[in-house]
Structure 1
C-alpha cells in the first residue's frame, strides 16, 4: 500500500529528501506522495523513512492504493531497474 500525506501536514520539508524513490513533492498546499513511485521504502529500508521523520504523524496508508509487500517489491525493482 502506498502512503499519503494528510492536510495535517505543516510543510516542514523534512520528508521530501528522505524518500529514496523521489515520490514526495510539494503540492499546491501541502506535500504529496506519488503512488506510482511510493514503495513504503520496501527494497531500501525496513520502515518508511518519511514516517520516521514526520513531526506531526500525517502520513498514513493510502486506502486508494492498496498493495502487498510483493507488489511493493516489484514496483521497487521496476523503479530501480537499469535502462
Structure 2
C-alpha cells in the first residue's frame, strides 16, 4: 500500500520518513499561503479605486475639480475629514 502522508501509527523504518509537521512549519505555511491571492486582490482593488477616482474627477468641471483635488505635497493633505 502506498504511503500517503504522515500517520501516527506508522511504525515502518523508511529512510524518507519525515514525521509529523512541526507547529512552526504549520504556522509558517498558514501565514504565507494567503499572500499570493491577497497580493493579486490588492493590486486589483488599487486599480479599481484609481479607476473610480479618475472617473469621478473626469465628471467634474474645472471649478469642482479644483475644490476636490489637493496636492500630495500639501501640508494639509491628511486633513480631509
TM range (shorter): under 0.3
Normalized per residue, which structure has more strand? 1
Q: Whose RCO is larger (CA < 8 A, sep 6+)?
A: 1
Could you tell me the TM-score, scaled by structure 2's length? 0.20
